[in-house]
Structure 1
């Protein structure tokens, strides 16, 4: 994208990077503050105070119901703050992991998702998988022609987790027989990674691997900003968010157009979304030109309520003298800084909400009793600095990057990496995501209460499988996942795949009906 129109400071690109044009400012979403007057370079609201910146008004038979023993889980309702040593289960043992793969892991649906259809194709067969074994050995360039062979190898290897890489132009297992440079990645979902450890300098409730309901709000606001930008500015539709199992989320943008993006386009999109500059100790990290780019104006509208609640109240971020000093360095008015410093030093325990109100009160005592335009700009930049998504942009820039598969078990917490419906992001509670031992116990409890329930089969869709196999009475056998709290997550995954496959089928028909027309996918937005 041109340097002059990037929402943040323009990222450094190599000379051969392809750039993406700016988003059009016509027909913005209803929550976007549209800048129609070019002479209004301050992006001012009608009311000149800081309060205005914050308070604007198919059934399948894949999963065997074997009688593998389940271990009773001791998980109970967790408090807001979670101590990793006290609350997280010990490393998942190999027998429990194997039982999970045998009884619960959705191999068929994962195959359909990555294969973009039910008939095996190179989209799956040339896909790289990387397995982390129980002894921490790391096996790259694994590939599988069918879902059945994929499942059999996972059961044989019983990895503690596995990651998903790109689709290559040839089978990645054959790399050693090829000359250097002959094996090249040709497609991969556009991915994003958000980790709460990147917020450790501003979250006061937890640190490192620990999370709670208060600091999870940072993830929610990041999901909303990124998801909205990907949909509204780039036109992507099939975006799946997945809980990492401990302290973050991953986004998989699965549209056909996104999967085929070359690395220079991926870097450009990552740069578009990357607004924060430098590290926590590098001074002001947000310094936006005015009028604000439409993406930033929209993001500010999304983030202002979170700043008011999460930063000023829940985290009380500015209550400490160190954070208060940091806040002062982000205000350019020296006389205002000195007045605020004196006021806060006389009341060292003054809460963050009061300190934010002090900026408003003291700034409005100047000429005309209105907020200095520079202070208003500073306030907007501060809101963005403390709430805007902190992305690990390196994850997004290269097609060859590997990312942990959905539905694997996080080895540190025992929790399943489940998908999240972004439309209901605020309803998702990472601390209530089931652990593997909890799920196996739920199966045992269900079977004990319903002894007549038929057992499933080991078949998966592919060679020798019998979809929707029924018991002797003609009723479909309930799959093990349906007996557990994993069911809503797998059901959501299935619905996501259905929408994706519908678009893929439509795109293939379109290409086959008109092979003479060369279609280009514009990245303009």
Structure 2
């Protein structure tokens, strides 16, 4: 087990000499054990990640300029001429930002260095190249530069001022409903679809219900996704406000022992919208044969029917008998199951099944909600809500590399999430081969010579540029308001 210790930046400096001598990978035995656990799921090997490959990635491919411009929130960043004359890139939104590094000075020992901050892009770049961190985390913008936090008297004076609203969804939290054979850190194409479902629900809710526009999604590098909501209104949210937004999306999805899902009739509009998004994907990616198969074989559909409310046991008995003799598809079974339930509660005029007019109100509500609850149990976002609640919570930096897979934490286009394949995300070994084999025209950034070009370039075009234009427009409107107040037109 890796031994982790947390240190401040000052403490971390004491380790630099040892770290420079300790740039080695995990022991052969540890690496072989890790490979045997994951090779069928992630393709991880020593050729995908090593300390040496990571150092090359930082020195040649890591988009320091892109990260710096983003976290500076400089409205002139979309205009190269204005940017050259702008001082906003040195604003407190960057210089007061907390970064943390996880370094491995010796094999098997990780040191977690918090409260680092940097005066500019060059300062950040130099620190990363010097320490070659296995992981970079990003935190809040503080009242003072985090590196000076020990000199600030009292935590009341050293406090977070702003931070993106962030969300973390991890497939480990779906272990109770994954029927593809994966659990823990293992993933496959079948269960990865659940991340696309979560992303679509969250993205639409954040945009339509809260009015946020500048939302960036990233692959975590292994088994999950992260969202960064970067609108100023989101960055200025208090901890209470963040908790309220996160709780808005939270639904009690039940457990293995308690299958009850915490929803009620009438459905809240956001849950009704989520159900419309999720049910088609539930039918396509959860119930069929070759997927999670919960309506594709008798053992699994029996397990599902056992979760019906007590008031619908007659439906269970009839369908178990019927399905044991027919060859209907999973989608047809789902439609038939819902039809039987609607007849049971009097929502259908179909005469094929006798209605139970004596069903009480409580049972009727449970039966009516069961199809929605079942869709939600398998598909609704399972948030690590603690990540979202507090300004000073750290989250892995976009564009860094997951050491267990060697894959880059690339941006994900939410509008095209169904086509995103985590197994096609480039690894460090692949990227270095692409650099060595490049034989094209000169480019501005070395990452343009690799398979990172599409995702990094799309992030610039579809996220950063629109965000910078929004910032510029807001700056202009604020200037006009001030001019109206002072009469300085």
Query: How do 1:152-231 residues align onto structure 2 when only pairs under 5 Å count?
Result: 152-181=126-155, 182-205=157-180, 206-231=182-207
Name the residue aligned to 1:94.
51
CA contact (8 A) 2:443 2:449 kept: no
Query: Given the alignment, which residue of 444, 448, 453 partners 1:487?
Result: 453
Query: How do 1:344-383 residues align onto structure 2 when only pairs under 5 Å count?
Result: 353=331, 356-357=334-335, 359-360=337-338, 362-363=340-341, 369=350, 374=365, 375-383=367-375
1:380-436 deviation digits (Å, cap 9, x = unpaired): 222222221111111111111110011100000000000011111112111101001
User: In structure 1, how many angstroms separate the alpha carbons of the residues matched to 2:279 and 2:392?
Assistant: 36
Deviates more, 1:176-185 or 1:399-408: 176-185
Paired residue secondary structure (1:167): strand
Relative contact order, CA 8 A, sep 6+: which one is greater?
1
Paired residue secondary structure (1:180): coil
CA contact (8 A) 1:320 1:349 kept: no
CA contact (8 A) 2:117 2:145 kept: yes
User: In structure 2, how many angstroms separate the alpha carbons of the residues matched to 1:212 and 1:428?
Assistant: 13
Length-normalised TM-score, structure 2: 0.77
Name the residue aligned to 2:394.
402
Paired residue secondary structure (1:369): coil
- 1:418/1:254 CA distance change after superposition, 3 Å: same
Name the residue aligned to 1:125.
95
Name the residue aligned to 1:433.
425
Paired residue secondary structure (1:128): strand
Query: How do 1:441-452 residues align onto structure 2 when only pairs under 5 Å count?
Result: 441-446=433-438, 449=439
1:321 shift after superposition: 4.1
Query: Given the alignment, which residue of 274, 288, 293 partners 2:268?
Result: 293
Give the structure with the larger helix fraction.
2
Deviates more, 1:198-207 or 1:354-363: 354-363
1:344 shift after superposition: 8.2
User: In structure 2, how many angstroms separate the alpha carbons of the residues matched to 1:361 and 1:121?
Assistant: 60
- 1:195/1:327 CA distance change after superposition, 3 Å: farther
What is the RMSD computed on CA atoms of the aligned residues?
2.8
CA contact (8 A) 1:188 1:260 kept: yes
Deviates more, 1:382-391 or 1:297-306: 382-391
1:477 shift after superposition: 4.9
User: In structure 2, how many angstroms separate the alpha carbons of the residues matched to 1:145 and 1:320?
Assistant: 63
1:341 shift after superposition: 7.8
Report whether the alignment pairs 1:316 with 2:293: yes
- 1:323/1:120 CA distance change after superposition, 3 Å: farther
Query: Given the alignment, which residue of 58, 64, 68 partners 1:111?
Result: 68
1:59-118 deviation digits (Å, cap 9, x = unpaired): xxxxxxxxxxxxxxxxxxxxxxx9713421237221111110000000001000001125
1:177-220 deviation digits (Å, cap 9, x = unpaired): 11222111011100111111111121222222222222111111
Name the residue aligned to 1:262.
238
Name the residue aligned to 1:333.
311
User: In structure 2, how many angstroms separate the alpha carbons of the residues matched to 1:123 and 1:282?
Assistant: 45
- 1:395/1:324 CA distance change after superposition, 3 Å: farther
Structure 2: tracts of 5 or more residues without a match: 1-35, 78-88, 357-363
Paired residue secondary structure (2:114): strand
CA contact (8 A) 2:137 2:395 kept: yes
Name the residue aligned to 1:416.
408
Paired residue secondary structure (1:504): helix
User: In structure 2, how many angstroms separate the alpha carbons of the residues matched to 1:517 and 1:203?
Assistant: 59
Name the residue aligned to 2:473.
506
CA contact (8 A) 2:254 2:262 kept: no
- 1:186/1:420 CA distance change after superposition, 3 Å: same
User: In structure 2, how many angstroms separate the alpha carbons of the residues matched to 1:417 and 1:339?
Assistant: 48
Paired residue secondary structure (1:193): strand
- 1:186/1:327 CA distance change after superposition, 3 Å: farther
Deviates more, 1:336-345 or 1:491-500: 336-345
Paired residue secondary structure (1:211): coil
Name the residue aligned to 1:5.
none
Report whether the alignment pairs 1:247 with 2:203: no
Paired residue secondary structure (1:98): helix
1:327 shift after superposition: 4.3
User: In structure 2, how many angstroms separate the alpha carbons of the residues matched to 1:268 and 1:332?
Assistant: 34
CA contact (8 A) 1:190 1:254 kept: yes
- 1:362/1:492 CA distance change after superposition, 3 Å: closer
Paired residue secondary structure (1:220): helix
1:513 shift after superposition: 3.4
Paired residue secondary structure (2:478): helix
1:364 shift after superposition: 6.5
User: In structure 1, how many angstroms separate the alpha carbons of the residues matched to 2:409 and 2:482?
Assistant: 40
CA contact (8 A) 2:102 2:134 kept: yes
Paired residue secondary structure (2:306): helix
